[in-house]
Chains A and B, each alone.
Chain A
Amino acid sequence: MATRPVEKRVKYKTSVKDSGTPGFLRMREEMFIFIPNDPRSTTKLKVQLQTIKGQKHTKEGSNKPPWLNLSNKQGGSYIFEFENYSDLQVCRDFVGKVLAKGEDTYEKPTITSHDEQLSAAEMELRIKLLRENSELQKLHKQFVISGVLTEAEFWATRKKLLGGESNKRSKQQVGLKSGMVSDIKPSTDGRTNRVTFNLTPEVIFQIFAEKPAVRQAFLNFVPNKMSEKDFWTKYFRAEYLHSTKNAVAAAAEAAEDEELAVFLKPDDILASEARRKIRRVDPTLDMDADLGDDYTHVADHGIFRYEIKEATEELNDLYRRTLSQDLNRHAAVVLEGRAVDIDSEDTRTVAEALARAKQVSRANVEIDGGENQERLDRISRMTEMEDLQAPRDPPLAALCIKDPRDYFDSQQANHAEAYESLKEIISLVKAKGLSNPILKSDVAFKVFNGLTHNISSAKYHLGKNPQESVLDRLPNSTKEELLHHWTSIQELLKHFWSSYPITATHLQIKVGRLKDAMSDIYPQLEALKESVQSELRHHVSLLVRPMQQALEAAFQHYDADLQRRSSKVGERPNGYYV
């Protein structure tokens, strides 16, 4: 494409603060020249456009003057101040076009439509993809730069490459493992008296989520009263004591160490939450009846023994924790959902984030009172015994097959004719019987010969080697051109067919543009056929024919659709004919 040299009045600035030397900027295909108005000035410029890496400019809507900043590969930059934004635009487009021709560099696509909001990361990804895949770049240049397709349309079919899908879809979160409840077993060294617990950020998160008292204690104690390491040491000491199920020892240690007592006694915060929840418990849940079943809480598993309960045991009850309590708490936390994402490793931020989330959820729960309908539903579901109910299979859809003749144009006249002729033939066969043999042997022979010759000649011409592809026998340049035409035709056709049925004006415009582009390619295919040597011409024409057929099918469809729409429009009742 011939690019006329662009010439504009500008001021050249070496830096932003520089007032600028007035002069002329002349841009040609390979370079640009700046000539200052003042012949005595020494700031002349003659720069090869190959050295230019990219360009930046000030926005039209902002209050800044129209500046164009061309940065070169060595890191320097040339700033030109134009008289108005339209001049700037022209120069910008010129530089853009020239830069696009270069192979290693690709500037930011400055043709962004107004409705496309692209993040910087997506832009980067697109540029990277274009740089790595030369085929894609060629296609992009051919269609987007020349205006046949917009950026959005070009990338819309390549969502997979952009990886947009996976970014948009939220990353899956891993749930809290219930193994934590019972399985956190320390590793013990048989020889020494040491017990080692492993602590990971995941575990910390889970502890804070399930035990609000511990979280509160962390926020209170660390870093004022003790370091984080001490805090966790105390916590795990408490866990160890619990696991030994020695309530007496637990009580003793709690009496000595105030902070340890926090971990050993039941969770205050949980208790107050539970009290609130008990008021809204499902009436179908008969807690009294369950109490009788739950004999793990009672000493000696409910076996009635004649023994006086000691006073100290009452105290020790406080330090008893059961597995079912832990499991229930874990389940409640899981069902609430994982509202907080642990991004930071810092324990304190995690604790604070969880505390805030808790406050928010508590406030929400208090506001939200309309749970009655839900409760009534649950009651009705719980009262029936599942095993005694009839199978609740959903009703199945009955098959109704419409008479297929409704869908086809009825050709009653042809029906009768066809029926008559068929009847005639059948009665003929019935009378005479089928001749034996059914076909005349020499006719069959001729047909078979013809077919075999056709197939074998095709195979012969294509070479005995099945691995060798037809394309390889063509000279490289022809092959490249053929493939290039093929990819561009595929791209155009994809967009063409996806635009039908035409429901909006922009689709119509798009289809028009696509059709023009396709009409351009069609004669190029013809030219390709003629440019090849005569012995290869047959192959090339065989390869080109399906492409031309595809284009012709598209043209046909376009014309038919246009005709149909114009005839519909032409039938306007108010008398206007288009």
Chain B
Amino acid sequence: EDDDDLDGFNAWERTYADERSWESLQEDESGLLRPIDNKAIYHAQYRRRLRTTARIQKGLIRYLYIVIDLSRAAAEMDIRPSRMFVVARHVEAFIREFFDQNPLSQIALVTIKDGVANMLTDLGGSPESHIKALMGKLECSGESSLQNALELVHGYLNQIPSYGHREVLILYSALSTCDPGDIMETIQKCKKSKIRCSVIGLSAEMFICKHLCQETGGLYSVAMDEAHLKELILEHAPPPPAIAEYAIANLIKMGFPQRAAEASISICSCHKEAKVGAGYTCPRCKARVCELPTDCCICGLTLVSSPHLARSYHHLFPIAPFDEVSVSLTNMHNKFPKNCFGCQQSLLATGNKPGPCVSCRTCRQYFCLDCDIYIHESLHNCPGCDSIR
């Protein structure tokens, strides 16, 4: 029963009726199509991502288990080529982004297949090993079992020290779960062990996933399409705020190894091979490790370098969001700068009218939208504020 009024339209129909996306196409002088300006859309998305700047604790040392559902439902082809491949691709991008933003953390991969959960890789800090293991085994069959996955992860996460933040990210394609027992008990167990479970659903919202996330303090979202899925997964890369009752303050011993001299040769502890130079020596036991950050195999000390700590530290002190500049005629005459302070590109849109831009509260410099996104998400330092001193 399709009405002809706009009221009767479904959401997907409305995007054609209301928004008339074909009208935003424009031709330039020679008749070629101009690329569609997505800046405003990205900027709007980015502003939605900005969180409050209240000083809250964040989990910097995270132990994250990614659970990938490889049941029959993952073979669905509503996102091409199939849900399983798309999820694997996005998980790869996520792993790299995760280690970029959380160098002190570790990831492990778990898959659900045929009603049982299997450990794909152990907790580790090197992205390559995880990605290789994931891409190597992509086949799906059988039922999906949420309880088995949670039980497996719970068993492993119970063993990690208390200063680490225990998290699980479940990428769930199925619409049901085939469990051997009462899943509510498992959820309570996870809650007691302070494990924060988040779920990203690929088909529809399920009560049990919502319940799980609510109980453990995680995030539940359902992806609408591939781009949305990517956005949802990457949302979990920056460290989440620490929940008050789970956070324990601890002093953790860490080592800052020095780089070995170029001409030195030693047998490294990770590969059992003699390597020349280019390694790090543990400050406590003097064993040689090949890359950082890692745990020393001999004495167990966490070895990091100062850039790793710095990369984690800035999550605690995010830059205040810039103010959007309202475009009014008066502004155009009062010292409206022609160029963005960050990239020196012109801030004026077509026809010499001021385009959309933002300004920093502290240093009062103007930045374009791209720089705004870049400063807040990657750079974590305002160039204007830093150049005042």
Whether chain B is bound by chain A comes out as: yes
Which residues of chain A have a CB within 8 Å of any CB of chain B? 169, 172-178, 334-338, 392-399, 401, 454-455, 457-459, 462, 469-471, 483, 486, 490, 493-494, 497-498, 539, 542-543, 545-547, 549-550, 552-554, 557
Nearest to B262 among chain A residues (CB) is A455
Tell me whether B222 is interfacial, beta carbon within 8 Å. no
Q: List 29 A-B contacts (CB under 8 A).
A: A172-B145, A172-B152, A175-B145, A175-B180, A176-B180, A177-B143, A335-B182, A337-B180, A392-B214, A396-B56, A396-B57, A396-B241, A397-B56, A397-B246, A399-B56, A454-B262, A454-B263, A457-B263, A470-B274, A486-B267, A490-B297, A493-B299, A494-B297, A543-B266, A543-B267, A545-B264, A546-B288, A549-B286, A550-B298
Instruction: Give B241-278 as 1s and 0s: 1 = Cβ < 8 Å from A's Cβ atoms.
Output: 11111110000000000000011111101001110110
Nearest to B142 among chain A residues (CB) is A174
- Select the stretch in B5-13, B38-46, B111-119 that faces chain A: B111-119
Contact (Cβ within 8 A) B274 A458:
no
Task: Kindly provide the distance from the CB of A447 to the nearest chain B CB, expressed in whole angstroms.
Answer: 14
Interfacial chain A residues near B180, Cβ < 8 Å: 172-176, 334, 337-338
Task: Kindly provide the distance from the CB of A81 to the nearest chain B CB, expressed in whole angstroms.
Answer: 49
Size range of the chain B interface in the assembly: 35 or more
CA distance A483 to B273 in the complex (A): 10
Contact (Cβ within 8 A) A490 B145:
no
Interface residues of B in 298-341 (CB under 8 A from A): 298-300, 316
Using A337-B181, A395-B244, A539-B265 as known contacts, list a sample of 16 further A-B pairs with CB atoms less than 8 Å apart, ordered by residue number in A. Answer: A169-B155, A172-B151, A172-B180, A174-B116, A175-B180, A335-B182, A399-B56, A470-B265, A470-B274, A470-B276, A471-B274, A483-B267, A486-B267, A494-B298, A498-B299, A545-B266
Interfacial chain B residues near A557, Cβ < 8 Å: 284
Task: Indicate which residue in A178, A336, A457, A490 contacts B176 across the interface (CB closer than 8 Å).
Answer: A178
CA distance A401 to B116 in the complex (A): 44
Tell me whether B285 is interfacial, beta carbon within 8 Å. yes
Nearest to A553 among chain B residues (CB) is B286
CA distance A470 to B300 in the complex (A): 28
CA distance A328 to B217 in the complex (A): 30
CA distance A471 to B266 in the complex (A): 10
Contact (Cβ within 8 A) A175 B178:
yes
Contact (Cβ within 8 A) A462 B276:
yes
CA distance A497 to B176 in the complex (A): 48
Task: Kindly provide the distance from the CB of B131 to the nearest chain A CB, expressed in whole angstroms.
Answer: 22
Nearest to B119 among chain A residues (CB) is A166
Tell me whether B105 is interfacial, beta carbon within 8 Å. no
CA distance A82 to B318 in the complex (A): 80
Task: Kindly provide the distance from the CB of A77 to the nearest chain B CB, expressed in whole angstroms.
Answer: 43
Contact (Cβ within 8 A) B274 A543:
yes
Task: Indicate which residue in B114, B262, B264, B287 contacts A174 across the interface (CB closer than 8 Å).
Answer: B114
Task: Kindly provide the distance from the CB of A544 to the nearest chain B CB, expressed in whole angstroms.
Answer: 9
Interfacial chain B residues near A469, Cβ < 8 Å: 273-274
Interfacial chain B residues near A178, Cβ < 8 Å: 176, 178
CA distance A545 to B288 in the complex (A): 12
Task: Kindly provide the distance from the CB of A221 to the nearest chain B CB, expressed in whole angstroms.
Answer: 30
Nearest to A497 among chain B residues (CB) is B299
Known: A172-B152, A497-B284. A397 touches B266 (CB 8 A): no
Tell me whether B102 is interfacial, beta carbon within 8 Å. no
Task: Indicate which residue in A397, A471, A543, A547 contacts B247 across the interface (CB closer than 8 Å).
Answer: A397
Tell me whether B148 is interfacial, beta carbon within 8 Å. yes
Task: Kindly provide the distance from the CB of B140 to the nearest chain A CB, expressed in whole angstroms.
Answer: 16
CA distance A550 to B287 in the complex (A): 6
Known: A175-B180, A455-B262, A458-B277. A394 touches B243 (CB 8 A): yes
Instruction: Give B91-118 as 1s and 0s: 1 = Cβ < 8 Å from A's Cβ atoms.
Output: 0000000000000000000000011110
Known: A172-B117, A174-B178, A175-B115. A493 touches B285 (CB 8 A): yes
Tell me whether B179 is interfacial, beta carbon within 8 Å. yes
Interfacial chain A residues near B241, Cβ < 8 Å: 396-397
Task: Kindly provide the distance from the CB of B194 to the nearest chain A CB, expressed in whole angstroms.
Answer: 11
Task: Kindly provide the distance from the CB of A114 to the nearest chain B CB, expressed in whole angstroms.
Answer: 28
Interfacial chain A residues near B243, Cβ < 8 Å: 394-397
Nearest to B273 among chain A residues (CB) is A469
